[in-house]
Structure 1
Amino acid sequence: MNHRLPTVIALLLAGLWGAALGYLHLQQQSNSGLIERVEATLVDLRSMIVGVRSPPDIVSIVAIDDRTAAAHGYPLKRETLAQLVTSIGALKPKALALDILLVDPGTEEGDAALAMAIKAAPSIIAGAATFPQSLQSVTTNAEDPFATVPEAQQLLLPQPRFAEAAPLGIVNVATDQSGVPRFIPLFSRAADRLDAAFPLRAASIALGAEPLIENHGIRLGAHRIPTDTGQRLPLTFYGPAGSISTFSAADALDGKLPADAITGKVVVIGATVTGGGDVFPTPFDPILPGVEVMSTAITHLIAGDGMVRDSRTRQADAGIATALPVLLVALVAWRRGALGFVIICLTVIAWAMLNLAAFANGYWLSAALPIAAALPPAIIFGAAELWRDRRRARHFADQSERLQRIEAPGLGEWLARDPAFLAEPVRQNASVVFIDLSGFTGLSEAVGPAMVREILSGFFELIDEEVRLLGGAITSFMGDGAMILFGLPAPAADDAARAAACAIRLADRTRLFLAGHPELRRRKIGFKLGAHCGPIVASRLGTGDRQQITATGDTVNVAQRLMEVAASRGAELAFSASLLEAAGPDAVPLQTGRLAGPFETKLRGRSGGIAIYTWRGETL
């Protein structure tokens, strides 16, 4: 339960974080936010992955290019422009859109000729809007489809005679921070008027249908075009400059323009001359002419092949931004480690592929928003879990270290691998060694608890070192002695040999330990050991969290009684003959005067006798 509560809190916080970002995304009125800046970069990346597309053969561009400027000057005189419009109009285009601002008067004759030429063809002329600031605050009103359209401060309108000759379209574009056109505002609102965008006017004339305005979309005849916040049309580009069929105005003026380039199509006249200034960076071209940006938008409106980014896609973005961080946090909580990392990576890759597939099929789902929503919670929660895992690992390491101080290393490792080890008693063969200090009880009364603790700590430490060295298991420290087993966690052929070697090493180490302590030497504290082998019953004693591994049976009792035999015979160590036989001839040093026996002896509490050997080390 303690582990689940932080996870539940993390899931709730991740969901709230994602939902908050999703709400702000739904209310987004501009392209100025950090998330939108990242999104712009990711849109370019997805566009390049999807690659260049062939646009529908709907729009032709007649470009006032370097050839035209070299032959006729730049800007074109109104008379020359009138001639260009007339020559194109004669080829029967569906619509003729002049992406040229006619805000300044020309000569009377030139302006009159141009107005007449414009009026004779299904034409659209350009205007522009300026705004008091780059970031526009607007009021959201579900009942007013123009409530989110920013209000222009000033309109740059064509001369009145041109405005009377053809409908007006506003040529503004909405760019991101790097200047890439992302949207075409389909309407421009001023204090006393509402004007359609240049591409919308051209598409309306070409389709012969007036636009019907709806919330988050417009309708042109049978086509409904979804729009983003502020009645904006999302832009995606077909490729670099020239992707939309482009012809030189010089050819049109010379009568060399092919008829199939004009007849039945929307024709956009605009400047591409070097140094003209009306260029924009795009994913495919750093200097895409503005006339091609307008032509791309016209194609989107007529063909319906533009990106869908509207209220429904934004709602989908908000839903993904809420769900993805919850999912990633849940995955981090569910499984850490290599498998969990792989699952998380596969989840992120699956989302990225779905996002890219949606983009390739014309649905602009945000990529930056889910990343911003999912990354901080996943990283923070993952770091917190890693910190908690490390704390838990340190805790377990401390517990393991404490366990190793009580249990032999082999038993501790075995218990870590198999928590059920000896949950049920096991009967098996083992070798048992007992060691005990002689005369220590009287010393304890004389020197006090601090000195007793110091002496016993040193004594137990040397026992632990020797037992570890030979792979035994200290099952218990008993007062001023210890019980040691060789045969756990599983019996081995050399248990008796290692037990005999351990007993002799303990005798040598203990003798030196007692001789090196003045108080112990003065009071002539001694020691005794007993060693025996045979069947034992190994089990856990205790209940709940307090359990101890121990061994019982006659073999244990005999080993303990052999300490008394050693003391009664003036020896340091008493072996059972069965243990030395199992240990082999090289188990005990056979120097004269150290190993004696065998002797038949009686043990307290036993009716029969037992063959033993006694051993004593060299006197210091």
Structure 2
Amino acid sequence: MSHRLLTVIALLLAGLWGAVLGYLHLNGRIGLLDRLEASLADIRSIVVGSNTPPPVVSIVAIDDRTAAAHGYPLDRATLARLVNAINALKPKALALDILLVDPGPEEGDAALTAALEGGPSVIAAAATFAQSRQRVTNLPDDPLAAIPEADQLLLPLPRFAAAAAVGVVNVATDHTGTPRFIPLISRAADRLDPAFPLRAASVALGVDPTIEHDAILLGTLRIPTDIGQRLPVTFYGRHGSIATSSAADALDGKLPADAIAGRIVVIGATVTGGGDVFPTPFDPVMPGVEVMSTAITHLVTGDGMVRDHRIRLIDAGTAVALPLLLVSLIAWRRSSAGYLIIVLMLVVWAMLNLSAFAHGYWLSAALPIAAALPPALLFGAAELWRDRGRARHFAEQSALLQRIEAPGLGEWLARNPNFLAAPVRQDAAVVFIDLSGFTGLSENVGPVKVSEVLSGFFELIDEEARAHGGAITSFMGDGAMILFGLPKPADDDAARAAACAVGLCERTRAWLRTQAGLAEKKIGFKVGAHCGPIVASRLGTGDRQQITAAGDTVNVGSRLMEVAASHGVELALSAEIVRAAGPGSVLLTAGRIEGPLETTLRGRANQIDAWLWRSRTL
């Protein structure tokens, strides 16, 4: 498969994967990613750090000191005194985060009813859900359709509900129990109820909420909401970040007026062991009353996190664009620079995501990771597998090159790709070998036998050439030319060429004896060797090139094979190569040498001195 086709397929699959995840994300159907997103949201919250909440909400806590002085839970009469003490300081609204679902002593209940009627107040209700009915889905045509329906509502006693507004205190937590959202609307079979924070904000602002598809309107204030009319909750810091006073001080008349006047006051329990606590990124035991107070602050000031349909659309777009970009970059450049660009791009995306979070826009981090990581890893693995295949191919080609070229010549070409791009004149030694009488045999034995014989012959030549550092520049029919002196001339080129020529004679003679039918057909061989100046160059164009040598030295070396054949010997050498090989060469130790003979070469006007070599075994 071509690289371009593989890239196109990878891009299509990456885009489709991102689109599917984006669609599921738009409809809130990826529970596993929501878990990952929750953890990443905690990390971003910690990185951004805590901040000071706007001074619009105060908490009056039924804490350990209150419980020690007045008991716990507070009786209705004591609770009535607490409400009266707070109302006396003129709060904007009072929200009682306590369920009043069971009757108490008549005197206490009557006192609490009267106290609630003494100012704008809100009391708590709760909803219970079947597990299978808590999932929310995004239906754009109806802003209420995505709200899950409660199995049961735990409502306050009618007398209390008549004296104060009622709001549902439910929170939506993740798998760790951390509150992530406040459902602003609760739905039962025959009624809709606002959340406790929404009711408190509505009473304090003196406006009724208006429900849009992905927002709640409080007068001119528009609060973006997530699927199911849920308000994202982000915490200001550890518990106590929102101004908190003890109910004991309020009951004792010690509560400062500036902590109450003009604020929304939330009464709730923080007593140790009370059970109404939640883990948050900043605190493992955040009181539930502070969770409600945080949501009220978001609603009144509009400083909450924005995570609505438009944000989810941006997430879905990122889920498509990021994997496409990563796959394109991997396909474009698989170098250190390319991978650096990918890393920098991911760092930029992470910084933009974090910056958006710090400015109140909750862009998903889990979705782009889930969308981009699998396609990038799979495509990268495919590219790596493909590159390894190409590397194996190049290794095989390199091994083949090394079999043909002199040892070190392949590495030299790799380091110097322009080697012999222009012809080079230099000294070298050449050895030619050719089978005698093989052409006639080829007509009788057939192509298969010819191929088998020549393969064995060429392997023999290759081994001898490599053993002596020669480069086979060409196989010519049933012969070959071996060059000594590339990539650079050496002082022992002639000696190695002479040794190679002698080795070829000894091994070819022995090899011919092992070939059935060749001895009877009187197949022989001849070898010629010479040294002198040559012109080395590359022949061919484009991807098909080979190294070759030309010049009078090459012509003389080739004609010396005819000299050997005419004198009935296996090897003929020029006087130049014998002289250059030196008196200690293998020519004298492995055989007998005769000459010099003044010889005329075909196609050459001038005569040369030639030497004839015979093996001592003959």
TM normalised by structure 2 equals 0.92
> Which residue does the alignment assign to 1:177?
175
Once the two structures are TM-superposed, the CA of residue 327 in structure 1 deviates from its matched residue by 0.4
Once the two structures are TM-superposed, the CA of residue 372 in structure 1 deviates from its matched residue by 1.0
The aligned amino acid for 1:10 is A
Once the two structures are TM-superposed, the CA of residue 52 in structure 1 deviates from its matched residue by 2.5
> Which residue does the alignment assign to 1:10?
10
Once the two structures are TM-superposed, the CA of residue 20 in structure 1 deviates from its matched residue by 1.7
Once the two structures are TM-superposed, the CA of residue 85 in structure 1 deviates from its matched residue by 0.8
Question: Following the alignment from structure 2 to structure 1, what is the Cα–Cα distance between the partners of residues 310 and 542?
Answer: 59
Question: Following the alignment from structure 1 to structure 2, what is the Cα–Cα distance between the partners of residues 601 and 483?
Answer: 22
> Which residue does the alignment assign to 1:282?
280
Question: Following the alignment from structure 2 to structure 1, what is the Cα–Cα distance between the partners of residues 331 and 121?
Answer: 63
The aligned amino acid for 1:92 is K
1:138 and 1:460, CA in 2 relative to 1: closer, same or farther beyond 3 A? closer
> Secondary structure of the equivalent of 2:396?
helix
In percent, how many aligned pairs have the same letter?
73
**1:485-524 mapped onto 2 (5 Å cutoff):** 485-514=483-512
> Which residue does the alignment assign to 2:297?
299
What's the RMSD between the two structures over aligned residues?
2.8
The aligned amino acid for 2:259 is A
Gaps of 5+ in 1: none
1:271 lines up with 2:249 in the alignment:
no
Higher mean alpha-carbon deviation, 469-478 vs 521-530, is at 521-530
Once the two structures are TM-superposed, the CA of residue 87 in structure 1 deviates from its matched residue by 1.2
Higher mean alpha-carbon deviation, 486-495 vs 267-276, is at 486-495
> Which residue does the alignment assign to 1:458?
456
**1:23-42 mapped onto 2 (5 Å cutoff):** 23-28=23-28, 33-42=31-40
Once the two structures are TM-superposed, the CA of residue 488 in structure 1 deviates from its matched residue by 3.3
Contact 2:137 2:227 in 1 (8 A): no
Q: 1:552-585 deviations in whole A, cap 9, x for unaligned?
A: 3322121111122233344432222223344455
> Secondary structure of the equivalent of 1:435?
strand
> Which residue does the alignment assign to 1:21?
21
1:48 lines up with 2:40 in the alignment:
no
Gaps of 5+ in 2: none
> Secondary structure of the equivalent of 2:615?
coil
- Give the alignment partner of residue 117 of structure 2, picking from 97, 116, 119: 119
> Secondary structure of the equivalent of 2:609?
strand
**1:348-359 mapped onto 2 (5 Å cutoff):** 348-359=346-357
Q: 1:72-99 deviations in whole A, cap 9, x for unaligned?
A: 2221110010011111111222221100
> Which residue does the alignment assign to 1:617?
615
Once the two structures are TM-superposed, the CA of residue 462 in structure 1 deviates from its matched residue by 2.5
Question: Following the alignment from structure 2 to structure 1, what is the Cα–Cα distance between the partners of residues 535 and 326?
Answer: 51
Question: Following the alignment from structure 2 to structure 1, what is the Cα–Cα distance between the partners of residues 267 and 600?
Answer: 123
Once the two structures are TM-superposed, the CA of residue 383 in structure 1 deviates from its matched residue by 1.6
Higher mean alpha-carbon deviation, 177-186 vs 139-148, is at 139-148
Contact 2:590 2:615 in 1 (8 A): no
The aligned amino acid for 1:27 is N
> Secondary structure of the equivalent of 2:148?
coil
Question: Following the alignment from structure 2 to structure 1, what is the Cα–Cα distance between the partners of residues 247 and 170?
Answer: 24
The aligned amino acid for 1:619 is T
Question: Following the alignment from structure 1 to structure 2, what is the Cα–Cα distance between the partners of residues 37 and 178?
Answer: 9
> Which residue does the alignment assign to 1:595?
593
Once the two structures are TM-superposed, the CA of residue 223 in structure 1 deviates from its matched residue by 2.9
Once the two structures are TM-superposed, the CA of residue 396 in structure 1 deviates from its matched residue by 2.9
> Secondary structure of the equivalent of 1:4?
helix
- Give the alignment partner of residue 347 of structure 1, picking from 341, 345, 348: 345
Question: Following the alignment from structure 2 to structure 1, what is the Cα–Cα distance between the partners of residues 296 and 464?
Answer: 91
Contact 2:87 2:119 in 1 (8 A): yes
Once the two structures are TM-superposed, the CA of residue 300 in structure 1 deviates from its matched residue by 1.4
The aligned amino acid for 1:7 is T
Question: Following the alignment from structure 1 to structure 2, what is the Cα–Cα distance between the partners of residues 326 and 188?
Answer: 40
1:546 and 1:357, CA in 2 relative to 1: closer, same or farther beyond 3 A? closer
Q: 1:76-127 deviations in whole A, cap 9, x for unaligned?
A: 1100100111111112222211000111111111011001111112211111
The aligned amino acid for 1:105 is P
Question: Following the alignment from structure 2 to structure 1, what is the Cα–Cα distance between the partners of residues 599 and 56?
Answer: 117
> Which residue does the alignment assign to 1:188?
186
> Secondary structure of the equivalent of 1:594?
strand
Once the two structures are TM-superposed, the CA of residue 138 in structure 1 deviates from its matched residue by 6.1
> Which residue does the alignment assign to 1:326?
324
Q: 1:212-268 deviations in whole A, cap 9, x for unaligned?
A: 333322233443221111211100112222222222212221222232222222211
Question: Following the alignment from structure 2 to structure 1, what is the Cα–Cα distance between the partners of residues 249 and 386?
Answer: 75
**1:101-250 mapped onto 2 (5 Å cutoff):** 101-136=99-134, 142=140, 144-250=142-248
> Which residue does the alignment assign to 1:550?
548
Question: Following the alignment from structure 1 to structure 2, what is the Cα–Cα distance between the partners of residues 141 and 504?
Answer: 91
> Secondary structure of the equivalent of 2:305?
coil
> Secondary structure of the equivalent of 2:117?
helix
Once the two structures are TM-superposed, the CA of residue 408 in structure 1 deviates from its matched residue by 4.2
Higher mean alpha-carbon deviation, 186-195 vs 227-236, is at 186-195
> Secondary structure of the equivalent of 2:22?
helix
Question: Following the alignment from structure 2 to structure 1, what is the Cα–Cα distance between the partners of residues 481 and 295?
Answer: 91
Question: Following the alignment from structure 2 to structure 1, what is the Cα–Cα distance between the partners of residues 150 and 598?
Answer: 118
Question: Following the alignment from structure 2 to structure 1, what is the Cα–Cα distance between the partners of residues 277 and 366?
Answer: 27
1:8 and 1:597, CA in 2 relative to 1: closer, same or farther beyond 3 A? same
The aligned amino acid for 1:331 is L
- Give the alignment partner of residue 433 of structure 1, picking from 401, 426, 431: 431
Contact 2:433 2:561 in 1 (8 A): yes
Once the two structures are TM-superposed, the CA of residue 325 in structure 1 deviates from its matched residue by 0.5
Higher mean alpha-carbon deviation, 452-461 vs 97-106, is at 452-461
Higher mean alpha-carbon deviation, 231-240 vs 481-490, is at 481-490
> Which residue does the alignment assign to 1:399?
397
Once the two structures are TM-superposed, the CA of residue 307 in structure 1 deviates from its matched residue by 0.9
1:591 and 1:500, CA in 2 relative to 1: closer, same or farther beyond 3 A? closer
> Which residue does the alignment assign to 1:335?
333
Higher mean alpha-carbon deviation, 362-371 vs 548-557, is at 548-557
- Count of aligned pairs: 618
> Which residue does the alignment assign to 1:605?
603
Question: Following the alignment from structure 1 to structure 2, what is the Cα–Cα distance between the partners of residues 246 and 84?
Answer: 15
The aligned amino acid for 2:23 is Y
